[in-house]
Amino acid sequence: MSTTTTIPSSSGLAISYSLSTRARIAYNVVGEDGKDNWIRKEVPEEEAKKVETSAEFEVKGVKYPALVEVIQTFKVPSANTLEGIQQLVPDEEEIVNLFSGGLSVKLGNKIRSRLMATDDDGNFTFEPTEQPFDMTADAAIKTNRRLTEDEKLQKSLQEVQLTPEKIQELMAVLQAKLSASGGAALGQ
């Protein structure tokens, strides 16, 4: 489950937080010599719940005896403004390090997308160049943020060409059912 809270600042919502529940499980792979070989793995909450229920963990189709050793919810900050970045990370050098790491991931994804792009017939469309392909302009292209579950549902409903009124009606019915069953509210 993921929830979001915010801390207001003079320039709006500088920092937001999400809650992330993770666990460490252990599963036993018995060696050829018959000895126990307990392997530890970090997993999301949903996977830990499966292990708690079944006392098993599946790896590549094979089920092993398993247990949950520890489960913890973490409060994870996220900066929404430059002010928020400076509040979270006051050290300029560390801000540059974090930015550079994020930029490297972003441009790596853009490179992968370019190399793997295909046309409607499935033919690769990337044409190599003599000189190194300059990715500088790609750094400034705005990345779409990840959609919330609520936004994903609304987008899916729009794709099946429901009217905005019908989408709102369905969302209200779903929200009422979730609330009645004690489920999480939409948009969280």
pLDDT in tens, the chain (188 residues): 444 444 444 445 788 888 899 999 999 999 999 999 999 999 999 999 999 999 999 999 999 999 999 999 999 998 888 999 999 999 999 999 999 999 999 999 999 999 999 999 999 999 999 999 999 999 999 888 776 666 677 777 777 777 778 877 887 787 777 777 665 555 44
pLDDT in tens, 156-168: 777 777 777 887 7
| Domain match, 64 and 101 both | no
Does any domain span residue 86? Answer: no
| Domain match, 97 and 74 both | no
Would you say 54 and 45 are in contact if contact means Cβ atoms under 8 Å apart? no
| Domain match, 64 and 97 both | no
- Which of 58, 79, 100 corresponds to the end of one domain? 79
Query: In this structure, what are the phi and psi dihedrals at residue 36, rounded to the nearest 5 degrees?
Result: -70, 140
Classify residue 180 by its DSSP letter.
H
- In one-letter notation, the amino acid at residue 183 is G
| Domain match, 13 and 71 both | yes
What is the per-residue pLDDT for 182? 60
Q: Rounded to whole angstroms, how far apart are CA atoms 147 and 141?
A: 18
Does any domain span residue 188? Answer: no
Element (H, E) at 149: helix 149-159
Partners of 40 in the beta sheet? 26
Overall number of domains in the chain: 3
Residue with the two structure tokens 């990345």:
143
Partners of 77 in the beta sheet? 17
Would you say 73 and 20 are in contact if contact means Cβ atoms under 8 Å apart? yes
| Domain match, 69 and 15 both | yes
Does any domain span residue 31? Answer: yes
| Domain match, 16 and 63 both | yes
Classify residue 187 by its DSSP letter.
T
Closest by alpha carbon to 77, among 67, 68, 86, 69? 86
- In one-letter notation, the amino acid at residue 131 is Q
Angle among Cα 13, 16, 21 to the nearest 5 degrees reads 170
- What range defines the domain where residue 103 resides? 91-139
- Which of 32, 54, 79 corresponds to the end of one domain? 79
Record the tokens describing residue 30, joined without a space.
């018995």
| Domain match, 9 and 67 both | yes
Does any domain span residue 85? Answer: no
Does any domain span residue 28? Answer: yes
Strand 62-79 relative to strand 12-28, pairing? antiparallel
| Domain match, 44 and 108 both | no
Q: Rounded to whole angstroms, how far apart are CA atoms 116 and 108?
A: 12
What is the per-residue pLDDT for 6? 47
Would you say 135 and 107 are in contact if contact means Cβ atoms under 8 Å apart? yes
Partners of 9 in the beta sheet? 12
